[in-house]
Amino acid sequence: MVALLKKLIAFDTSNGPGDTRALAEYLKSQFAPLGAEVDIFVAPNGKAAHFIARLRGDGSKKPVLLAAHADVVPVEREKWTVEPFAGVEKDGFVYGRGAMDFKGGLAVFASAVMRLAEEKTPLSRDVIFLAEADEEQGQYSTVWLAKNHWDKIDAEFALNEGGYVLQERDGTVRQINVTTAEKLSATFALKATGPSGHSSRPFPAGAMANDRLIAALAKLAVHDPAVKLVPATEAYFKALLPISSEQTAADIKQLLAAKDQADLDAAGKKLVADSPKDSLLLHALLRDTMVITMIDAGIKPNVIPGDAKAVVNTRLLPGTTTDQMIAEIKRAVGDPGIEVSIVTALPQQEAREAYLIRSKMPGSPVDTELYAALERNAKRVWKDAVLVPTMFEAGTDATAWRERNVPVYGIYPYPLDDDILSRMHGNDERIGVEAIKQGADWVYNTLREVAKK
């Protein structure tokens, strides 16, 4: 299984351009000899390739799906100490882009399905494995796949990326977050305009595009949206109560008892302040977030540009719409001349409507066979572990199923400590060899339980 991960890392599927064709063909070469039905669907751009393998059951139950994205974010190669696309194994870790996010999960899910095929386990339901394209970015994600080939990926329930298996400093696992809902990623463009001309004759301070954009971003950088509790986070905090420290439990109780916005903001602030180890996660779970990720201003040192642009990525709680976030950005900026628009390949109104539908997606219930099997089999690997349903602070490609009311449970299926998490999308990304073996056992046993006759 570790060898499979190293092989998957060796395919450079950085997005852009997000070319997953070679990886899909490799997976086909592994699954087809085992008797799996295989399909590769290549998107119109000729690069984004979705791979699907299906093990047939007797049809008495609807399929179970395991989905993992094959594309990865780009690398800053000069900042790595190892070749990022070689799958280097050293000191008990496998290094490489995607080792943790999410080719590690791809390897775990694939190995579980291949093991079922190798053992010729009689199945009561089809088992579907999907290696997806365009999760990190792009227009040919699982939404495109579902629109064109839903019959290939329809299921009773699904596993995808999401919650963390949290490893303590002593190596034990006591908490496993399983995501039943997730935030919506929406990116916005901010544009300031002003007079252009020669830099030797500047216009009045504050009138130029760069001045206006800088002033707007300075306000946005210190703006913190209000605390909100949604059903998924309320369930999460309730589940945390019995396994939390005395101080954290008291803070959570104060949060859950809040009667108005002022109480919510105060309780949320205290919970974050009293939880330095988890402060970033808690801050993100308690509110919509916004962060300035790109700035584009100027064409030459001696030219005053006529416009200046910035990109702001937001993560929206379930129920928050893009219209509401645009209004919040405009209030925070305080300059009616700053244009705010959704970054999208779609027309603005069409994008708003699509985001509106996604903002209303229900969370997944925890009374399904799959969730119960995850819980039982986690105990077989990590005896002290408690499963906690939660909301993923980021977004995934689970939209295609969530908007069709198919329960999706998100996991990074291996123990993660602070060091591993800090390398996600960063330099020298890695995953522990022992961790990935433990995750493989968990997922295989879970899958076997829900799929066997």
pLDDT digits (tens, 9 = 90+) for 220-250: 999 999 999 999 999 999 999 999 999 999 9
Rounded Cα gap, residues 345 and 134, in angstroms = 14
pTM of the predicted model as reported, rounded to 2 decimal places: 0.89
Rounded Cα gap, residues 112 and 24, in angstroms = 17
State in Å, rounded, how far the first CA of the chain is from the last one: 25
Predicted pLDDT of residue 52? 99
In the predicted model, what is the mean pLDDT of residues 161-174?
Answer: 93
Predicted pLDDT of residue 153? 99
pLDDT interval class at 67 (50, 70, 90): very high
Neighbours of 190 (CB within 10 A): 24
Residue 91's nearest CA partner among 445, 419, 453 is 419
Cβ atoms of 309 and 190 within 8 Å: the answer is yes
Predicted pLDDT of residue 97? 98
pLDDT interval class at 124 (50, 70, 90): very high
Question: Could you report the per-residue pLDDT of 339-375, keeping only the tens digit for each?
Answer: 999 999 889 999 999 899 889 988 999 999 999 999 9
Domains defined for the chain, CATH in brackets: 2-178+390-451 (3.40.630.10), 184-225+288-316+319-359 (3.30.70.360), 231-285 (no CATH)
Residue 204: Cβ-neighbour burial (10 angstroms; 0-12, 13-18, 19+): exposed
Task: Please tell me which residue, 16 or 144, carries the higher pLDDT value.
Answer: 144
Predicted pLDDT of residue 98? 98
Name the one residue in this structure whose structure tokens are 């800090």: 422
Contacts of 214 (CB under 8 A, 6+ apart): none
Cβ atoms of 329 and 191 within 8 Å: the answer is no
Predicted pLDDT of residue 267? 98
Predicted pLDDT of residue 121? 93
Rounded Cα gap, residues 228 and 276, in angstroms = 20
Tokens, residue 109:
């899910």
Residue 1 pLDDT greater than 90, yes or no: no
Neighbours of 250 (CB within 10 A): 15
Rounded Cα gap, residues 228 and 217, in angstroms = 24
Q: At what angle do helices 369-381 and 433-451 cross, to 10 degrees?
A: 140
In the predicted model, what is the mean pLDDT of residues 326-337?
Answer: 97
Residue 175's nearest CA partner among 417, 453, 452, 428 is 417
In the predicted model, what is the mean pLDDT of residues 292-306?
Answer: 97
Question: Could you report the per-residue pLDDT of 172-221, keeping only the tens digit for each?
Answer: 999 999 999 999 999 999 999 999 999 999 999 999 999 999 999 999 99
Cβ atoms of 81 and 93 within 8 Å: the answer is no
